[in-house]
Amino acid sequence: MKAVAKQEVQLKEELGTGADLLIKALVDAKVEKVFGYPGGAVLPIYDAMFRHEFPFEHILFRHEQGTIHAAEGYARVTGKPGVVIATSGPGATNLITGITDAMMDSLPLVIFTGQVGQSVIGTDAFQEADVMGLTTPITKYNYQVQNIADLPRIVNEAFHIATTGRPGPVLIDIPKNISAGATDGEYDNSFEVPGYQPTVNPNPMQIRKLANALSQSKKPVLLAGAGVTIADASDELTAFAEKYQLPVVNTLLGLGSFPGSHPLSLGMGGMHGTYTANMAIYEADLLINIGARFDDRLTGKISSFAPEAKVAHIDIDPAEIGKNITTEIPVVADAKRALLALLNGELNGPDNKEWLEKLEANKKEYPLWYDHSDELISPQWLIEQIHQASKGEAIVATDVGQHQMWAAQFYHFNKPHNWITSGGLGTMGFGLPAAIGAQIGRPDDTVISILGDGGVQMTIQELAVMNDLNLPVKVFIVNNEALGMVRQWQEKFHGERYSSSLLTKNPDFLKIAEGYGIRGIKVDKEKDVPAVLEDIFSYDGPVVVDCRISWKEKVFPMIAPGKGINEMIGVTR
Amino acid sequence: MKRIITCTVQDRGGVLNRITGMFYKRQFNIESITVGVSEIEGLSKMTFVVEISDDQKLEQLTKQLNKQIDVIKVSDITDKAIVARELALVKVNAGNQSRAEIQGIITPFRGTVIDVSKDTLTIQVTGKSDKVDALISLLKPYGIKEISRTGVTALLRGQQSSQQVVEVNSFPV
Ligand SMILES: Cc1cc2nc3c(=O)[nH]c(=O)nc-3n(C[C@H](O)[C@H](O)[C@H](O)COP(=O)(O)OP(=O)(O)OC[C@H]3O[C@@H](n4cnc5c(N)ncnc54)[C@H](O)[C@@H]3O)c2cc1C
Ligand SMILES: Cc1ncc(C[n+]2csc(CCOP(=O)(O)OP(=O)(O)O)c2C)c(N)n1
């Protein structure tokens, strides 16, 4: 299908081994950064990189989990595929969490794992793991290379599959005798995947149906998910919303696909969304989902989700349509193409003035709220301060927990590709390496990492990479001396029995930072925050800020588990 | 309801694992599965019999199958005009006295005896699953020692596919 023209790549060496073919294939795929960790089964590949004098940059992390979350962060903010290399056995198994995370959140990754030599596969050889078996359910596709000559084709095909349609992780398992083996000098990377032809153009009849439904609607709502950002369709979404004055709810992963400070923005919907967003969905007569997969953290109890609404769903993956929510108007398409078709069509706008007034009144009456903490820092206020100090333009990567929700609620994202968080899998340990990957992908932008004191300890060793490359990531540990999100649920739903959720003997994070050669600052009073922020945002290097907040802080409002989107608690004080 | 779903897939390593893994992950229950080469080189044909509760789940299953990179075509042929067959081998206790009786039972089913030992007969029967079931239940009283069934494989009838289908064994009247 796609025979990439043989372009002349200036490689330093002949294409003598399988590993050389791989290097050329990566150069052909325009790979600029590789996130990796060496080991026996990938030694030929590491040697080839060295011999070819690194035609792309290789960044050594301190744990394979770090490499893959960094690749995810890189992919999120650049839109390019993240490339990972790890060795066989334990190297490969250390990637499992990250691969699953990328699969859940539709991130394009191409992952290379070493494998034992073909002659011993299946014998429980040293550092052998059944990587194909392990990763089949968590990859969009995976390969084990059987012949050296197949390498260029497989690599080219893998990049195609990872980055087109609904993006996802693709893994290539390379036995050591393949990477070390001699080639006959041939390089053919043409491929065919007849079973894989994503639909990108919307069916005009479905678009007309959607347009008709819109013109008859009195209470329309747009739900914008990560698919809008993936499709680079933020401008089209904004134009569409403005043209017909349609209010917009974002999913957690859709934040930034529509400007958070736009008057038509209702904020995030779902478990920790705004009252206005959730009630808009509850009362809507037409819900147009663009690139969101109706995750249960968004929908709450299904029977209370958009009970009055006709549902339209624009998604590039047909299997997402009708999976969780009955859908009257399915539109299988790339979000950008569908939005362009809607923008270009003739359509009488809906008569929704009253609706907008009602939503506006809700916004005024039920905004997100918080109280100032007496002694320590209030986390919501802290996020607002970080927003101000970074002019709302920073790339923000979070870990998982309360701090993640506060960041989502209070850092009003106005631009796409600036928000990195683990949504579907909710992977603690994600935030620090993801921020590092983002900074590597966008060296000129400000990158902020907002972490919990629990999650940071899962991948804290990657501070070494920040120091190695002098990456000016600003790390904020929102330190409540607890596994806050778990503690909050125990307080609310388990009779305040804090079973294994308090971290009363945390390490000294400043000393840890220092140990890695990184500046550390501790701040525990609100009055000191502005000066600290001014200091670190004018400092061109990595920094770790240990921000002390009360362990009693909670994320509100919220939908309790099993409840409907109309049953939020903590909407007001 | 039972559905018969066929899948044309690219013959690549791990394809069966990937597809059956999806069934398991998404909680679909495979009753039987047959896999074999198709009329085109490099393509295999899979036939699944699946117990599915409602239309929404059925739609999900066909969509999830279509989503697989190696899958070229998915058809739910349950409600189409099809020929669907399976083959069963049944080893049944048979002393001297019962042999003739058993022969009498299997004849209307067009079953054939393909192996004989001192006290067993092995019978081969081909047909729709209910026919196979019916024969097995008639043989039960004699004592069944072993059964091996292939699961259903199926094709659209006549003009509906490029393939010329000739029906062989039909259910006895
Ligand atoms: C502690 C915690 C709390 C959470 N609370 C909330 C919450 O309150 N609210 C909330 O919304 N989420 C919440 N989440 C996240 C939630 O679990 C889901 O990850 C999130 O809702 C998914 O958002 P999404 O559907 O927009 O993105 P994804 O899951 O990434 O789905 C993207 C969709 O877009 C489609 N797509 C991809 N490319 C294109 C394209 N080019 N064109 C069209 N479509 C495309 C995909 O097929 C997919 O269906 C929470 C997570 C955690 C860890
Ligand atoms: C790898 C992993 N293990 C466990 C969990 C369950 N979990 C979700 S949030 C949370 C607490 C996180 O605590 P912390 O990192 O301190 O952040 P906080 O909620 O306090 O902001 C836990 C344990 C998870 N999401 N990921």
Q: Give the model confidence (pLDDT) of A290-311 as tens digits.
A: 999 999 999 999 999 999 999 9
In this structure, the answer to whether residues A241 and A209 fall within a common structural domain is yes
CB contact under 8 A, A137 and B25: yes
Task: Give yes or no: residues A220 and A344 share one domain.
Answer: yes
Pure H helices in A375-472 = 379-389, 402-410, 431-441, 463-468
Which residue puts its alpha carbon closest to atom 4 of ligand 1? A297
- Which residue among A132, A140, A323 sits closest to B14, beta carbon to beta carbon? A132
Q: Say how many Å lie between the CA of residue A404 and the centre of ligand 2.
A: 10
Please name the residue of chain A whose CA is at the shortest distance from the CA of residue B58.
A323
Fold for domain B2-79?
Answer: Alpha-Beta Plaits (3.30.70)
Mutate to test the interface with A, among B24, B56, B69, B73 (most CBs of A within 10 A): B69
Q: How many CB atoms lie within 10 A of CB A135?
A: 25
Distance of CA A332 from the midpoint of ligand 2 (Å): 35
Q: What is the CATH number of the domain that holds A360?
A: 3.40.50.1220
Range of the domain at A471: 379-555
For residues B136 and B125, what is the distance between their CA atoms, to the nearest angstrom? 10
Please check whether residues A456 and A484 belong to one and the same domain. Answer: yes
Q: Is A258 left (phi over 0), alpha (psi -120 to 50) or beta?
A: beta
Residues A411 and A452 in one domain: yes
Q: What is the mean pLDDT of residues A172-193?
A: 95
Catalytic choice (A49, A268, A458, A485)? A485
Structure tokens belonging to residue A566: 């109309």
Task: Report the mean per-residue pLDDT for chain B.
Answer: 90
Residue with structure tokens 């569409």? A240
> What's the CA dihedral at A310, A313, A314, A317 to 10 degrees?
-160
pLDDT at B11 over 60: yes
Q: Looking at CA atoms only, how far is residue A199 from chain B in angstroms? A: 11
From A180, A195, A216, the end of a domain falls on A180
Could you identify the residue written with the tokens 């409907």? A564
Q: Are B125 and B60 in contact (CB under 8 A)?
A: no
pLDDT band at residue A375, thresholds of 50, 70 and 90?
confident
Q: How many residues does chain B have?
A: 173
For chain B, which residues make up each domain, given as ranges? 2-79, 84-153
> CATH number for the domain including A457?
3.40.50.970
pLDDT in tens, A200-234: 999 999 999 999 999 999 999 999 999 999 999 99
Locate the chain A residue with the closest alpha carbon to B10: A195
Query: Across the interface, do A318 and B9 touch by the CB < 8 Å criterion?
Result: no
Would you list the DSSP string of B87-138? EEEEEEE--TTTHHHHHHHHGGGT-EEEEE-SSEEEEEEEE-HHHHHHHHHH
Residue B57 · residue A323 · CB < 8 Å:
no
Ligand 1 pocket, mutate which of A296, A298, A425, A488 (most atoms under 8 A from CB) = A298
Running DSSP on this structure, what letter comes out for residue A61? Answer: -
CATH class of B84-153: alpha beta
Any ligand 2 atom below 6 A from CB of A428: yes
Task: Quote the ligand 1 centre to A296 CA distance (angstroms).
Answer: 10
Task: Say what the pLDDT of residue B161 is.
Answer: 56
Decide which of A180, A213, A237 is a domain's last residue.
A180
Residues A175 and A262 in one domain: no
- How does strand A169-175 pair with strand A141-144? parallel
Measured from the CA of A97, which atom of ligand 2 is nearest?
1
Residue A13 maps to a domain: no
**How many interchain CB pairs under 8 A, A with B?**
43
Domain assignment of residue A567, yes or no: no
Tally of domains in chain A: 3
Where is pLDDT greater, at A472 or A373? A472
* DSSP state letters, A159-180: HHHHHSSS--EEEEEEEHHHHH
C-alpha A50/C-alpha A32 separation (Å) is 15
Q: Residue A195 and residue B71: Cβ atoms within 8 Å?
A: yes
Does residue A484 have its Cβ closer than 6 Å to ligand 2?
yes
- Shared domain check, A392 and A317: no
Backbone dihedral angles phi then psi of residue A530, each to the nearest 5 degrees: -55, -40
pLDDT beyond 70 at A272: yes
| Contact call for residues A87 and A451 (beta carbons, < 8 A) | no
Of A33, A49, A61, A64, catalytic: A64
- Cα A62 to Cα A44: distance, rounded to the nearest angstrom: 20
Q: CA dist B16 to A122, A136, A197, B46, B71, Å? A: 18, 11, 21, 9, 11
Burial class (CB in 10 A: 0-12, 13-18, 19+), B114: exposed
Mean pLDDT value of segment A304-322: 98
Based on the domain organization, do A413 and A484 belong to the same domain?
Answer: yes
The answer on A526 and A481 residing in a single domain is yes
Position B171 pLDDT exceeds 90: no
Query: Does residue A246 register a pLDDT over 90?
Result: yes
Asked if residue B59 has pLDDT above 80, the reply is yes
The Cα–Cα gap between A212 and A347 comes to: 7
Ramachandran area for residue A291 (φ above 0: left; ψ -120 to 50: alpha; else beta): left
Q: Which of A366, A379, A434, A347 is nearest to A76 (CA)?
A: A434
In this structure, are A161 and A283 located in the same domain? Answer: no
Question: For A479-502, how does the pLDDT look when each residue is reduced to its tens digit (9 = 90+)?
Answer: 999 999 999 999 999 999 999 999
Asked whether residue A47 is assigned to any structural domain, the reply reads yes
Distance of CA A229 from the midpoint of ligand 1 (Å): 11
> Which tokens is A553 given?
């802080």
Confidence of residue B166 (pLDDT cuts 50, 70, 90): very low
Choosing from A33, A176, A310, A474, the catalytic residue is A176
Q: Is B71 on the interface with A (CB under 8 A)?
A: yes
Does residue A568 lie within any of the structural domains? no
Residues A357 and A395 in one domain: no
pLDDT band per the 50, 70, 90 thresholds, residue A8 = low
Say what angle helices A402-410 and A379-389 make with each other, to 10 degrees: 50
In this prediction, residue B162 carries a pLDDT of 37
A403 and A262 inside one domain:
no
Q: What is the pLDDT of residue A186?
A: 87
Average pLDDT over residues A332-351: 95
**Cβ–Cβ below 8 Å for A196 and B69:** yes
Give the ligand with the smallest distance to the CA of A253.
1
Model confidence at A440, pLDDT cuts 50, 70, 90, reads very high
Would you state the structure tokens that stand for residue A59, as one six-digit string? 């960044």
A571 falls within a domain: no
A441 and A515 fall within a common domain: yes
Tell me the average pLDDT of chain A: 96
Q: Which residue of A has its CA nearest to B57?
A: A323
pLDDT of residue A15: 83
Tell me which ligand sits closest to the C-alpha of residue A319. 1
Rounded Cα–Cα distance for residues A493 and A495 (Å):
6
Q: What is the pLDDT of residues B82-127, one digit of tens each?
A: 999 999 999 999 999 999 999 999 999 999 999 999 999 999 999 9
pLDDT of residue B160: 65
Say whether B84-153 and B2-79 share the same fold. yes
Torsional sign, CA A47, A51, A56, A57:
positive
Q: Which one, of A190, A187, A225, A282, lies nearest residue A105 by Cα? A: A225
Task: Say yes or no to pLDDT of B70 above 70.
Answer: yes
Q: Is the CB of A274 under 6 A from ligand 2?
A: no
Please tell me which of the candidates B13, B63, B71 has its beta carbon nearest to residue A318.
B63
* A1 — pLDDT class (breaks 50, 70, 90): very low
User: What is the pTM (predicted TM-score) of this model?
Assistant: 0.95
